[in-house]
């Protein structure tokens, strides 16, 4: 089956008791044993598994071309679990990119995760720097985020993966921004692909789930399943049901998302009050050629720097009328956000940078809104 067909059919079946086409929401926290003590449908307890969750995991596994999927209550729960699931016989050094989701920086600095592992931050777009970091000490895990948040840096997935594999390290790609529609890291050799399902896969800003799709069976995947069951950070049946509903339209949504973003990027690149535009679809973007090779399109996230400083950028965000000033991304609405003020003193975002999540509105309306805000 091709992607669009998998998104609609994978993990689903007609309900045998009612013949309903749409899967019911299974809210039960426990499941009956057979007379011999067995579980005929393999479901035991809601924390361990649930029909809606298993259906979503099967669907995401199919879309990424993986072996199995483990879902969690949020993207951050998935990220935390992946780091902690590094097997005990692997080195504790973890290589991470210098431009990455701020929530991970907070995780490393505000919880015990940062003290349990030796975190080495590198420019993941510089292969020599990656190789030197891996050679500096035994490495257990290499983390990629491409395109990155908020500067949209592009990592060469195959090249970084090759360096990591030669050192015996696991590899992970945060594939949230690209989605499996545009980029499939597992087919490029990566061990795990992570998603905040909350974003594009759900697609409507109304659920919270994280997912980790594994390329193959491994001790790390075994640990992830154990973490899911024993630590209990599992998504609700209703959120899984919503995600399965949302993913059916993922492919056609991404077509519109990407087309709108490309046009917005061109518009901003030509605007006299814009200093810089960060979008891999622009031919002068440093990672354009790599993105063109490993992605089928360039996504719908972009950031731009307003001429001036933080005040000028905040003024633009304050004057928009159609864009919503909100955190998060990947929904039907277009969002604008001043990342530096959201992230505070530890931010790596330039003070004049605004991040855009381009939605499904008519692109001319979006351009007109940005035009009046930039005047």
Which of 6, 105, 184, 199 is catalytic? The answer is 199
- Does the annotation count 47 as an active-site position? yes
Number of other CB atoms surrounding residue 106 within 10 Å: 15
Which of 68, 101, 253, 279 is catalytic? The answer is 101
Q: And the tokens for 327?
A: 């955190």
- Does the annotation count 2 as an active-site position? no
- Does the annotation count 325 as an active-site position? no
- Does the annotation count 101 as an active-site position? yes
Which distant-in-sequence residues (6+ apart) come within 8 Å of 10 by Cβ?
Answer: 1, 58, 59, 61, 62, 63
Q: Cα(143)–Cα(104) distance, rounded to whole angstroms? A: 11
Q: And the tokens for 35?
A: 């007379």
Q: Cα(145)–Cα(99) distance, rounded to whole angstroms? A: 8
Report the phi/psi class of residue 298: left, alpha or beta, with left for phi > 0 and alpha for psi in -120 to 50.
Answer: alpha
Secondary structure class of 132 (helix, strand, coil):
helix
Q: Report the half-sphere exposure of 334 (CA within 13 A, side-chain side).
A: 29
Return the sign of the alpha-carbon dihedral for residues 80, 81, 84, 89.
negative
Q: And the tokens for 234?
A: 């599992």
Q: Report the half-sphere exposure of 225 (CA within 13 A, side-chain side).
A: 12
Which of 156, 174, 191, 239 is catalytic? The answer is 174
Which of 12, 47, 90, 225 is catalytic? The answer is 47
Q: Which DSSP letter does residue 23 get?
A: P
Enumerate the active-site residues. 47, 101, 174, 199
């Amino acid at each position: 089956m091709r992607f669009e067909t998998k998104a609609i059919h994978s993990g689903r079946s007609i309900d045998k008791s009612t013949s309903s086409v749409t899967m019911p929401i299974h809210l039960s926290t426990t499941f009956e044993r057979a007379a011999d003590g067995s579980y005929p449908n393999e479901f035991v307890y809601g924390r361990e598994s649930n029909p809606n969750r298993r259906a979503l995991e099967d669907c995401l596994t199919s879309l990424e071309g993986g072996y199995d999927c483990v879902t969690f209550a949020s993207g951050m729960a998935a990220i935390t679990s992946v780091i902690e699931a590094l097997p005990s016989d692997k080195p504790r050094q973890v290589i991470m990119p210098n431009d990455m989701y701020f929530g991970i920086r907070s995780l490393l600095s505000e919880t015990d995760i940062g003290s349990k592992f030796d975190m080495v931050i590198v420019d993941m777009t510089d292969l020599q720097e990656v190789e030197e970091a891996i050679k500096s000490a035994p490495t257990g895990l290499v983390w990629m985020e491409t395109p990155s948040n908020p500067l949209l840096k592009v990592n060469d997935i195959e090249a970084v993966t090759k360096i990591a594999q030669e050192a015996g390290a696991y590899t992970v790609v945060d594939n949230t921004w690209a989605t499996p529609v545009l980029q499939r890291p597992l087919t490029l050799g990566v061990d795990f692909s992570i998603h905040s399902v909350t974003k594009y896969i759900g697609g409507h800003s109304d659920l919270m789930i994280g997912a980790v799709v594994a390329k193959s069976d491994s001790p790390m995947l075994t640990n992830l399943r154990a973490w899911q069951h024993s630590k209990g950070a599992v998504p609700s049946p209703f959120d899984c049901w919503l995600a399965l509903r949302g993913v059916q339209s993922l492919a056609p949504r991404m077509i519109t998302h990407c087309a709108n973003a490309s046009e917005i990027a061109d518009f901003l690149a030509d605007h006299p009050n814009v200093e810089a535009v960060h979008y891999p679809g622009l031919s002068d973007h440093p990672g354009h050629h790599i993105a063109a090779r490993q992605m089928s399109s360039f996504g719908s996230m972009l950031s731009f720097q307003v001429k001036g400083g933080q005040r000028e950028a905040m003024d633009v965000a304050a004057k928009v009328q159609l864009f919503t000033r909100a955190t998060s991304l990947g929904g039907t609405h277009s969002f604008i956000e001043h990342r530096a003020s959201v992230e505070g003193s530890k931010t790596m975002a330039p003070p004049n940078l605004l991040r855009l999540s381009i939605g499904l509105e008519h692109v001319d309306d979006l351009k007109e809104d940005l035009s009046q805000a930039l005047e």
